[in-house]
Amino acid sequence: MKKLANFFLFIIITLISYFLLSNLLFKLDDTPAWYEIKHPEHVIAGKPVEVLVKYHDMKTGYRLSATLHLFNKSGQYQGCIKANEPLRIIHGNGAAPFKFIIKKSDLKNKDISFVRINVNRFELPISSKKSIYNGRRIGNTVSSASIPIVKPNPDGSIPEVKTSSILQIVKHAVLEGTWIKFHGDNTFEGWFITAVYFIIFILYVQYLLRVRKNPENIEKNYMRFILITAILTFILGINKQLDLQMLLTDIGRTHSKIFGWYNIRRPAQVRFISIFASLATGVVILSAYNLRKLWRKIFLQTTGLFILFGFIIIKGSSHHKLDHFFSKKILGMSMFGVFEIIGLALIGISAITGLFKDKSATNNISDINDKGF
């Protein structure tokens, strides 16, 4: 019954954490969220391309404009095509259809690989004497995912669209991404923090080995919490120089570029970070709840873990405003480094305190045994 209650508590904590964190990250994000562009998986030269722009929360009227942009394999811009009926007035909630036709002449002498739909909003003129096309643009241009273009065979048949496998995506990300060139923190700060991770790991291992001599004096849940913390510090210490989160970012970036959702990747990033952070938060809070009678022992340790998880979330979120803030220097160290050191210091103090208290208790027991009590 207790395990079932813990499971439901973990689910509730994780869901609440996900809701709060994802909403916070979306609010911090500058990417406009008023639109959704529905488009086909691929387009064919000579056939109409039908696109639907869904919009919501338009408190005033706007003129909506859409253009289809052509790109080669290298991602270089090769021209654009206007919609057949470019004028759309929008207000409130709804959907605006656009139709494009890619002529064969548009592809002549051009190695066009994919297209992208760009959408803009323009304010409507107050005076009826002014042209509706003279309105000022509102906000930034928003884009669809990249849509591959399919060229018909000479016999008029449509060739099969091949997609990359997961192994091909991972291989491409490893060989041509940023991880292979820039992984690891080879600065003094980076190696110092790496050393601190392993020192804390050694302290916890010593503590675990010592309490094994008197296991009846230590709660099993507390022992598990210490073991999890030791494993986490060891893994994070290795990852400090491996930067596996950078490799995961490269894999995600490669996948998004190949499958055409790179320009709208931000929601996926937010959801991935929120899921990871929520699961970690659920584990830490549930562990702390089960050990609430020992809150004095685990307070520093739990706080340190929260700070480390926060550091990982912020670094992994790749949010430009947060990156700019935490890249600032304090006493020669980056804010990221200071943030990480504070979390490690709290965990380290907890390990040292537990180690010396246990040593003192063990010595007292030995003295009592020597006196014959």
Q: What is the pLDDT of residue 349?
A: 92
Q: What is the pLDDT of residue 366?
A: 44
Q: Is residue 346 scored above 90 in pLDDT? A: yes
CB-based contact 35:267 (threshold 8 Å): no
Q: Is residue 251 scored above 70 in pLDDT? A: yes
Q: Which two tokens stand for residue 109?
A: 């002498």
Which residues lie across from 80 on neighbouring strands?
69
b/e map 246-272, b = 16+ CB within 10 Å: bbebbbbbbbbbbebebbbbbeebbee
Alpha-carbon gap, residue 9 to 143, rounded angstroms: 41
Q: What is the pLDDT of residue 298?
A: 85
Q: What is the pLDDT of residue 168?
A: 85
- DSSP readout, 331-358? TTEEHHHHHHHHHHHHHHHHHHHHHHHH
CB-based contact 226:353 (threshold 8 Å): no
Q: Over pLDDT 90: what percentage of the chain? A: 17
Q: What is the pLDDT of residue 155?
A: 76
Q: What is the pLDDT of residue 364?
A: 47
Mean pLDDT of 288-315: 82
Whether the CA torsion 159, 79, 132, 63 is positive or negative: it is positive
Render pLDDT for 188-206 as a digit per residue (tens, 0 to 9): 888 999 999 999 999 999 8
Residue whose C-alpha is closest to residue 259's, from 174, 175, 163, 165? 163
Q: Is residue 285 scored above 90 in pLDDT? A: no
Render pLDDT for 33-45 as a digit per residue (tens, 0 to 9): 677 888 888 888 7
Q: What is the pLDDT of residue 343?
A: 93
Q: Is residue 58 scored above 90 in pLDDT? A: no
- DSSP readout, 211-232? HTTSGGGS-HHHHHHHHHHHHH
Q: What is the pLDDT of residue 217?
A: 62
CB contact set of 94 (below 8 Å; sequence gap of 6+): 54, 55
Residue whose C-alpha is closest to residue 80's, from 154, 31, 143, 122? 143
Per-residue pLDDT band for 12 (boundaries 50, 70, 90) equals very high
Render pLDDT for 67-121 as a digit per residue (tens, 0 to 9): 999 988 877 898 999 888 767 888 889 999 999 988 877 777 778 888 999 999 9
pTM, rounded to two decimals: 0.68
Looking at every residue in the chain, the average pLDDT score rounds to 81
Q: What is the pLDDT of residue 111?
A: 81
Q: Is residue 347 scored above 50 in pLDDT? A: yes
Q: Which CATH class is domain 42-160?
A: mainly beta
**Domains of the chain, residue spans:** 2-28+169-370, 42-160
Q: What is the pLDDT of residue 86?
A: 63
Residue whose C-alpha is closest to residue 250's, from 334, 183, 309, 165? 183
- Amino acid found at 349: I
Helix, strand, coil shares, percent, the chain, to 5? 55, 20, 25
Q: What is the pLDDT of residue 368?
A: 35
CB-based contact 150:163 (threshold 8 Å): no
Q: What is the pLDDT of residue 237?
A: 92
Least confident among 52-61, 150-159, 160-169, 317-326 = 317-326
State which H helix or E strand residue 185 sits in: none
Alpha-carbon gap, residue 270 to 75, rounded angstroms: 25
Q: Is residue 354 scored above 80 in pLDDT? A: no
Mean pLDDT of 207-232: 81
CB-based contact 69:116 (threshold 8 Å): yes
CB-based contact 273:309 (threshold 8 Å): no
Which residue in the block uniquely carries the two structure tokens 């309105």?
A: 135
Q: Is residue 358 scored above 50 in pLDDT? A: yes
- DSSP readout, 70-96? EEETT--EEEEEE-SS--EEEEEEEEE
